[in-house]
Chains A and B, each alone.
Chain A
Amino acid sequence: MAAFLFRRLMQSALILLGVSFITFVLLYVLPADPVRQIAGRAATAQTVENIRQQLGLDQPFVVQYGRYLLALVQGDLGRSYLQKTEVVDLILSRLPATLLLMMAGISAELVLGLSMGIAAALMRGRLGDQVLMMMSFVTVSAPQFVVSLLMLYVFAVKLGWFPIGGYGTAAHLVLPALTLGILGSGWYSRMMRSSMIEVLRADYIRTARAKGLGRARVVLRHALPNAVLPIIAMIGIDIGIFMGGIVVVESVFGWPGIGQLAWQAIQRVDIPIIMGVTLVSALAIVIGNLLADLIAPFIDPRIRLR
């Protein structure tokens, strides 16, 4: 276990290093000069050169990347070029909002996805199954921006059940979390359905039914814990998809998370923020996968971490 953890942590560090390198290269070769963005349209050539020197952007790539890494290991993500604020502060101020939305969103996905998957598996081949699978197909392919706006319009503007965007109370959380839940539930319901169908065919299920246990008890106590196993691994992967998809939902609902921050930074070529958010997102994905691996043996004793 300890050896496994050590090896995985080393791997994670390498992955993060790789991510930092690739992102840095991509931003370096970008045909847009961050110094021009900072200097503004009225700047003289002299001003532009001054800023370039002060930011060290006149240095060769290796020096720039080396300096970035050196600061990074000290926990310094640099200062935003345009906001002039420490990137660490910008991310930390927004991270709680994103984590909260992520947890609520994944919970919503699971509740919706799993129950739809179970219901579809139990109704396999019948109309209910087809309707549910059709729905999962629609939600997976639906454009996030449109669904978010639709949810906002119907439940906040028309019905007035929830605030029109914003952050702060539990009521603010419901709509964005539900939107993420609906959009992501399709993956889970499809996976849950096939996993459940497989488990329902297993011998021990037939045994349980033969013992005379009720249908509900068989499904919930015997089938579900076994069918849900592959789903656990999927949550770890889902965090990655989530970090990408949360940008749109955060924008529409005015949710002050890091997705919003990243989107703005990309438009303004604010490299330190783009780097910082990319690294933090990569970290979240790495941690998510690691946790999924660590939890697996507790659910399925056949899995051993070596």
Chain B
Amino acid sequence: MSNHDIGKLAEPEEKVYTTLNLGPTHPATHGIFQNVLKMDGEIIVEAEPTIGYIHRAFEKLAERRPYNQVTPITDRLNYCSSPINNMGWHMTVEKLIGAELPKRVEYMRVVVMELARIADHIICNSVIGVDTGAMTGFLYIFQWREKIYDIYEQICGARLTTNIGRIGGFERNFSDKVWSLIDDFVRDFPKGLTEFSNLLERNRIFMDRTINAGPVSQKMALEYSFTGPNLRAAGIDHDVRVMNPYSSYQDFDFTIPIGTQGDVYDRFMVRQQEMWESLSIIKQALKNIDRKSPVFSGDVPEFVLPEKAEVYNNMEALIYHFKIVMGETEVPAGEVYHSVEGGNGELGYYLISDGGRTPYRLHMRRPCFIYYQAYPEIIKGSMLSDAILTMSSMNVIAGELDA
């Protein structure tokens, strides 16, 4: 018997790996997507993502829908910040038909969109906490998300999939209750956010867990065309609100927080800081909005429903009412791209119209789809726990990923 047979250690290439199916239903995947991981103990050797579990063919659906009816589809993209998706779509159509909106409406949109951004970041950051095992911070900060949802509810009647606003403005003016709810939120939220920050930001275990976990370099982020907080965490100050202002964002004074090495902690901190910035934007907008003004939509009669009294007494109003309700509004032919800074990155709508009542083709640039392409590369060689944290800190939402 030769020595080779006794106590021979496995060579690296002879290693036996385990396959672990992370998902489609796993408590840590926020939505339904699967990762087939090749594991060496706790270390991930290879990851292969599977997507499409909740693909609902939104882009195809949009081709058969009148413009107003595409809005509910956009709700279901990133359902943590539906209002931003809704208003991004409205602005795209407005760009196509060349509608100009009054400042008041644009500021009202800014208020709602920044509230949505705060809600989105609340979910992402608190879930990072949950995935590190800190449940309490999650429950503390979630009360504030409820308050934001109360505001949505007062504006449009819905909480999660809001379908808020219309092409050309809002469906109705903000009531006094809405203004008072927003005032309360702006007044009280700093307390809640500070409490949450105190729980996690300087927590030794939390920092150990998140610093250097799932880092994304600037080069990699740019190559994968990352946007939003994930790109800013890598240290690149790109923000659609500043680079390509829409809805009067140029009127507001705010800073773009950036990170240094794009790890989970940086992404967390960038989002934390963005919540403060959003709050400041809301304050600025509130200062400049005339609350008593009756203007809540622009002069876009072919998309904004006229008052009922008008409909009963006025020929044109009756015609527009009929055309809007039946979805028969004709839109000029054209090609337009419009993007907004969504909750987790640049959400773009590329719309081609060949005239008629429905889009000819609509493509949605969904940031989650792009982040998820980079996910296997980011988690390669890291531990399982880090992979989970990376996923939650990139805020990959299955609804937006699969569309």
A, B: real partners: no
Enumerate chain B interface residues (CB-CB to A < 8 A): none
Enumerate chain A interface residues (CB-CB to B < 8 A): none
